[in-house]
Amino acid sequence: MMRWSWGNKRLLVLAGAFALLLLAPLLNYYYDINFIQGWYQSIGIGDFWIVSPLEGLESLLVTREPFGPLLAALFFPVLLALLLGRVFCSWICPITFLTEVSERLKKLLSKKTATPERWTLFRQMLWFALGLELFLTLVLGAPIFVFMSPPGLIGRELMMLIFFRTLPLEGLIIILVLILNLTSKRFYCRYLCPLGAFLALLGMKRRVRIENILQNCKGCRTCDRACPMGLSPSVGEGTTVYCWNCGTCIDNCPYGQLVFKVKKEESRPPIPMQKRS
Amino acid sequence: MEHVYPGKCIRCGRCVEVCPYRCIELLDIRHGLSAGTPIIDVEKKPCFLCMKCVHVCPTGALLPIEQHETRMGLAVIDQHTCVSWKPDSLLMCKTCYNVCPFRDTAIRMEEFKPYVDERYCVGCGICTNACLVNREQGGKAINIKPIYATIKLPEVPQ
C-alpha cells in the first residue's frame, strides 16, 4: 500500500470539507433534504450542532446571556482545539483549501517555488488581531467576525449563489484574504485571523505536537523553509502555540526526524492495550 | 421570524437553508451591522408558519415558539380600497378572511366587513398575497406594517 503523506491526507480532508459547503445548500435547495444545514459558522448535521468558538463567544459576549443549544454546540469544536490545537485552520478551513489549491496550480503552471515570505511581522500580531476584534465587538454591540469571517463567508457566498443566484458584496473580503495569502505566505492566517488566534489560544496546552526527535537531524533546515506558518520546527517551534499541526514539515524532512507526538498526562498510568474480557 | 437581534445572530444561514418556501433572505452589507441577518419580506412571499427555522437556530436569535406567538408585522386593511369596506360597494370579498391561518381570531368578518385583531395577527402576509385589489399607489387592500419591539401589544388571553 502506498503511504500517503500528511499533505495529501490533509488536501483530501480539505477538499471534503469544501465539498460539504457545496453539498449542503444543493441538497437543501433541490431536494429539500435538511439533514445538513449551514457552514463553518454553525453547521448542523442532523441533531449534531457545531458553532464556531469565536462566533459563539461573540454572541455570548454581546447578549450576556447563555443559551443552552449554543453552549452545547460549542463543546465539540472547543474540545477539538483543546486536544489537537489549531487543526480547523489547517485541515478544514475553506480559505486554506483555496490557498493550497491555488498554490499547487501555480506550481504546476509556472514551476516556481512556493509563495514567498514577502512581509513578515511579529507573530504576536495574531493576539492583537483577536483582542482588537473582541474589543470592537463589545464597543459596537454587534459581532464583527460573524459577518466578516472569511471561512464563514465562503459558505455564505456558495449558499447565496445556489439559493438566490447572487453573490453578496462581502465576498470581496475572501478575494482580499486570498490575495494576501498568495502574495506573502499565509499572511492572513499567520497575522490577522481572529478565529485562528482564538483556536491557537485554546490549543496552547494541546496533546498533539510536532517534535524533532533529534536522533539523526542534520540541521538542514528544510522543514523551516517548508513551514507555512514561518516557524522553525527544527528547533522545536512545532510545539509552540503558533503551530497548526498541518504536518508539512514532517513531509519535507529528508531524514524523518519530525513526528506528531501525543503527549500523555504524566500523572496517569498508560492504559493497557489488550481487550478486557 | 421575530425580532432578530443582530448581536445574537451569527449569520450562519441555517434558517435560510431549511425554509421550504424560500421566504427567508439574508440582508446584505448595505444594512450595516445587520448584514447577514435573516429577514422575511412577507409582502413578497408570505411565511406559512411551518416553524422549521426557529428549530435550527443555534444561538437563540430565533426562539422555538408556537405559531400563534409569532409576530412579524401587523395586517392593516386599507378601508378606502377594500371592496368590502367601500360604502357604495355591492361586492363582498372575504379572501383575506378565508386564507388567514387564524381565521375568526386574527381576521373576523363583522357586518360583511373584514376586521384585523392586532392581538392575534402574526403578520404572516398570506392575506396580502391573496388580496385581489391592487392599489394605484402600490400594495394591496390589506398590507403588512412593521411592528417594533418597543410597542407593547395587549396581552393575549388564553
The cell for A73 is 454546540
pLDDT at B90: 80
The percentage of chain A sitting over the pLDDT mark of 70, rounded to a whole number, equals 92
Asked whether residue A270 is assigned to any structural domain, the reply reads no
Asked whether residue A1 is assigned to any structural domain, the reply reads no
Whether the predicted pLDDT of A114 surpasses 70: no
Residues of A with CB below 8 A from B51's CB?
none
Whether the predicted pLDDT of A199 surpasses 90: yes
Domains of chain B by start residue, with CATH: 14-67 (3.30.70), 71-145 (3.30.70.20)
Residues 95-114, chain B: which have Cβ within 8 Å of A? Answer: none
CB contact A227 to B (< 8 Å): no
Asked whether residue A99 is assigned to any structural domain, the reply reads yes
Report, as an integer, the average pLDDT of A9-18: 93
Asked whether residue A118 is assigned to any structural domain, the reply reads yes
> Which has more confidence, A144 or A98?
A98
Q: What's the CATH number where A228 sits?
A: 3.30.70.3270
> Which residue in A has a C-alpha nearest to residue B13's C-alpha?
A38
CB contact A174 to B (< 8 Å): no
pLDDT at B156: 60
pLDDT band at A15 (very low <50, low <70, confident <90, very high): very high
pLDDT at A266: 53
A131 and A241 part of one domain: no
The three-class DSSP label of residue B29 is helix
A32 and A102 part of one domain: yes
CB contact A54 to B (< 8 Å): no
Asked whether residue A184 is assigned to any structural domain, the reply reads yes
CB contact B8 to A (< 8 Å): yes
A160 and A40 part of one domain: yes
Whether the predicted pLDDT of B1 surpasses 50: no
A26 and A158 part of one domain: yes
The percentage of chain A sitting over the pLDDT mark of 90, rounded to a whole number, equals 30
pLDDT band at B2 (very low <50, low <70, confident <90, very high): very low
Chains A and B: how many Cβ contacts under 8 Å? 105
A110 and A142 part of one domain: yes
Contact A170/B16, CB-based, under 8 Å? no
pLDDT at A112: 66
Region of B100 please: left (phi>0), alpha (psi -120 to 50) or beta: beta
Contact A163/B17, CB-based, under 8 Å? yes
DSSP lists the bridge partners of residue A239 as: none
pLDDT at A276: 47
Q: What is the extent of the structural domain holding A223? A: 207-263
What's the gap in Å between the CA of A268 and the closest CA on chain B? 37
A193 and A221 part of one domain: no
What's the gap in Å between the CA of B144 and the closest CA on chain A? 24
CB atoms within 10 A of CB B111: 6
pLDDT at A107: 83
Last residue in a domain, options A185, A203, A221: A203
A42 and A179 part of one domain: yes
Please state the ipTM of this predicted complex.
0.79
Residues of B with CB below 8 A from A33's CB?
none
A86 and A104 part of one domain: yes
Q: Taking all residues of chain A, what is their mean pLDDT, rounded to a whole number? A: 86
Contact A156/B7, CB-based, under 8 Å? no
Q: Which of B8, B26, B34, B51 to mutate to test the interface with A (most CBs of A within 10 A)?
A: B8
A193 and A211 part of one domain: no
CB contact B6 to A (< 8 Å): yes
- Among B41, B25, B27, B9, which residue's Cα sits nearest to residue A170? B27
Contact A38/B13, CB-based, under 8 Å? yes
Asked whether residue A268 is assigned to any structural domain, the reply reads no
Report, as an integer, the average pLDDT of B22-34: 83
Whether the predicted pLDDT of A44 surpasses 60: yes
The percentage of chain B sitting over the pLDDT mark of 90, rounded to a whole number, equals 16
The winner for highest mean pLDDT among A180-184, B95-99, B137-141 is B95-99
Report, as an integer, the average pLDDT of B114-137: 89
A226 and A255 part of one domain: yes
> Which has more confidence, A270 or A157?
A157
Contact A63/B7, CB-based, under 8 Å? yes
Asked whether residue A274 is assigned to any structural domain, the reply reads no
A141 and A225 part of one domain: no
Contact B10/A169, CB-based, under 8 Å? no
What's the gap in Å between the CA of A145 and the closest CA on chain B? 9
Asked whether residue A123 is assigned to any structural domain, the reply reads yes
- Number of structural domains found in chain A: 2
Contact B28/A59, CB-based, under 8 Å? no
A15 and A127 part of one domain: yes
pLDDT at B59: 86
Q: Which of A23, A37, A153, A174 to mutate to test the interface with B (most CBs of B within 10 A)?
A: A37
Whether the predicted pLDDT of A273 surpasses 80: no
What's the gap in Å between the CA of A93 and the closest CA on chain B? 15
Which sign, positive or negative, has the C-alpha torsion A43, A47, A53, A55? positive
Contact A59/B18, CB-based, under 8 Å? no
Whether the predicted pLDDT of B126 surpasses 90: yes
Could you write out the three-class secondary structure of chain A? CCCCCHHHHHHHHHHHHHHHHHHHHHHHHHHCCCCEEEECCEEEECCEEEECHHHHHHHHHHHCCCCHHHHHHHHHHHHHHHHHCCHHHHHHCHHHHHHHHHHHHHHHHHCCCCCCCCCCCCCCHHHHHHHHHHHHHHHHCCCCHHHHCHHHHHHHHHHHHHHHCCCCHHHHHHHHHHHHHHHCCCHHHHHHCHHHHHHHHHHHHCCEEEEECCCCCCCCCHHHHHCCCCCCHHHCHHHCCCCCCCCHHHHHCCCCCEEEEECCCCCCCCCCCCCCC
Contact A147/B36, CB-based, under 8 Å? yes
Report, as an integer, the average pLDDT of A65-88: 90
CB contact B33 to A (< 8 Å): yes
